[in-house]
Amino acid sequence: DSGVTQTPKHLITATGQRVTLRCSPRSGDLSVYWYQQSLDQGLQFLIQYYNGEERAKGNILERFSAQQFPDLHSELNLSSLELGDSALYFCASSDTSGNEQFFGPGTRLTVL
Amino acid sequence: ELKVEQNPLFLSMQEGKNYTIYCNYSTTSDRLYWYRQDPGKSLESLFVLLSNGAVKQEGRLMASLDTKARLSTLHITAAVHDLSATYFCAVDSNYQLIWGAGTKLIIKP
């Protein structure tokens, strides 16, 4: 158990809908990272937050957005969902050194 | 743009054998990571390599980093069935990890 929690574990929804994925980092970690893992694209970095501020942005679609709250938990919002958004979404956290990222169990999103 | 290439992408081997997975990357980075993923599960950190020449070992796995050659290796010694999994390398690029495609390792008894 990495100490990073994610909810929900599974999410099934329809095209065009909007969902919110939630992540709580390890105690004391200020950085949160979001990744998408799909069969065709592999693992891709989406976005990073550090202590509430966006620090780095990767291949995140405009339909996706994220934020980190004062209690350091983070949410990833996915809107206007398409079939191709079906994937595993992982959250990771790290301490201020950023030397190691610890991954949560993931949320499996299925868009029908 | 940083690219990370792993090879092989698939490896089937017998228990007791040795093998090496290679990870090449295209631009300078001084932080490289190896992760393990079991089917349907999360990513488990195996090794964090932070400097040129770094070598780390845990059980039957050993990882090394050559930043000049932009190459890391993950060596498996006397493989056992429990090591069957997908192994990923990832390279740090300005606070984001760029991932290899993964090596699916199957170890047959």
Q: How many helices, marked H, and strands, marked E, lie in chain A?
A: 0, 11
Residue A17 CB: number of other CB atoms within 10 A?
A: 13
pLDDT class of B73 with cuts at 50, 70, 90: very high
Chain A residues within 8 angstroms (CB to CB) of chain B: 2, 31, 33, 35, 42-45, 48, 55-56, 58, 90, 92, 98-106
Q: CA nearest B41 in A: which residue?
A: A105
- Residue B96 · residue A45 · CB < 8 Å: yes
pLDDT in tens, A25-60: 999 999 999 999 998 889 999 999 999 999 999 989
pLDDT in tens, A62-105: 999 999 999 999 999 999 999 999 999 999 999 888 888 999 99
pLDDT class of B52 with cuts at 50, 70, 90: confident
Query: In this predicted structure, what is the pLDDT of residue B57?
Result: 96
Nearest in space to A90 (alpha carbons), one of A68, A73, A110, A107: A107
